[in-house]
Structure 1
């Protein structure tokens, strides 16, 4: 389907990019240079940024070969301004920043699984899937099957508590170990469904699936390594916009942006400042994260959890 939106047209897209207006606005001042879309997916944000900024170029990154193939075709109208690279975004973005340096004016990352990956049951991301996979890169070694069927009960409990914030993580882990092996996400969901809290807007098994997916793809580690790469890049002028979908990701981004904006890095109990009070590398643009407007929520229910934080690097 083709989707008409303010500021551009998303052509033949399998999903609607979240916070599309806010992303366009975040990079509106980037009149020339390169934007690195760390999580290109199916090209929704990338196509809008290129359409709205005729002087910009873009490096699109994704580890999913299906997304690469789709976006390569989708971004053909902007071919002379687009370079698509496959790999883990923390590694490829670091390489791009080293190669392009000050030519890069923006970094965009939309953290998490894409809508099409969720909808493709053979990928094993959905609780209705007949497989147990969840790999964003189908060639990666670790899949959800290994996590669910091979991890110890204590390891599963830790993952469920830390990545899914599952309140009864011990009981869920105990049930998984007692009833495994599992061959599908649907089978796993049915086995733990009775243990999950009811009455929320999300499916009761969602948090468990989220925790396993984060472990499989090392999503929090990837996000942290991307922020490390941006921090150490030395690029003097850079807009960083990151979309997250749950509190763990958002907390990582919030804390890192706060660190980047802090001039004094002395210990809290220091009697006086001895660090020079000049360590800030820019400023936080969004004091509170941006969320979807009512019309977007009506059009795309998956945008309800999305939060966008923006930081402007200005190194003197």
Structure 2
């Protein structure tokens, strides 16, 4: 695999998932550093990819990296839910697949100036550097109840109230490192991840509206007029995975009558396809050894066939 600052997770599983989409366009909603896109382009010479990203650094890197694929690759900047909706309308009948990797890239985590890491000297966490809301505003201006809700819902932090209270008492914070040090004593120890990781994750999800973006993407796919479409979503968080699982289950249902209905009155013909992965695909042992960040990755795949 080409030397790149980001190792794509579940790379074998992604290539396998799109074998049925050999001809046509795959929308890579989270282009990043081109890892999944390059694999999809290599796997079939008759496949094109439209990549989407809101991070100008990622776009600049991938533009150079994928240049050799010529007209087979197109890159667009913006929030993937809105851009994908536009592409589905523009390229109606040509799109055969959609892939979304709902996570922060390795380079974003590793560059401390981006403020994603608990070791960062700033508080930012914006995937789009031009976005208005940053981690600095969330941490320093949100009320204690708002912070508690974010920590509980997005980070599943068990003592969210105590952490939020400490954040409010000790702010203002100017860096992620400063915040991490202030709450470190409240974090559970002994896990494989750094104690502050879940707090940082919760703030990042709030800053970038990640769950909202995922929901809007699924809405756009559901509302599209495409007859056939392979949909693959990679998640790293139980909340994201739950959203995808529930939506795929809903899409596969023929009967949408209430559970307490005595008989079916809906017509029993509402399914738009089938779930391909009954259980999410996860990284194999060799990938886990080579890329520890793949340990939380889950891929679910759905085949739309209206």
Give me the TM-score of the superposition, normalised by structure 1: 0.96
2:113 paired residue number: 122
Please give the secondary structure, in 1, of the residue aligned with 2:261.
coil
Which structure 2 segments of 5+ residues have no match?
none
Q: What per-residue deviation string (whole Å, max 9, x for no partner) do you get for residues 118-164 of structure 1? A: 00000000000000000000000000000000000000000000000
Aligned length: 306
2:102 paired residue number: 111
Partner Cα distance (2:49, 2:5) in 1: 21
Q: What per-residue deviation string (whole Å, max 9, x for no partner) do you get for residues 186-240 of structure 1? A: 0000000000000000000000000000000000000000000000001100000
- Is 1:68 paired with 2:59? yes
Counterparts in 2 of 1:77-226, with a 5 A limit?
Answer: 77-226=68-217
Equivalent position to 1:269, from 260, 275, 279:
260
Counterparts in 2 of 1:214-293, with a 5 A limit?
Answer: 214-293=205-284
Which structure 1 segments of 5+ residues have no match?
1-9
Please give the secondary structure, in 2, of the residue aligned with 1:25.
helix
Please give the secondary structure, in 2, of the residue aligned with 1:313.
strand
Partner Cα distance (2:20, 2:237) in 1: 28
- Is 1:55 paired with 2:46? yes
1:5 paired residue number: none
Partner Cα distance (2:103, 2:182) in 1: 25
Q: After TM superposition, what 4+ stretches of structure 1 lie above 6 angstroms from structure 2? A: none
Partner Cα distance (1:272, 1:102) in 2: 37
Partner Cα distance (1:272, 1:77) in 2: 58
Partner Cα distance (1:99, 1:15) in 2: 30
Partner Cα distance (2:158, 2:256) in 1: 35
- Is 1:313 paired with 2:288? no
Partner Cα distance (1:239, 1:79) in 2: 24
How far did 1:11 drift?
1.5
CA RMSD across the alignment: 0.5
Give me the TM-score of the superposition, normalised by structure 2: 0.99
Equivalent position to 1:11, from 2, 21, 38:
2
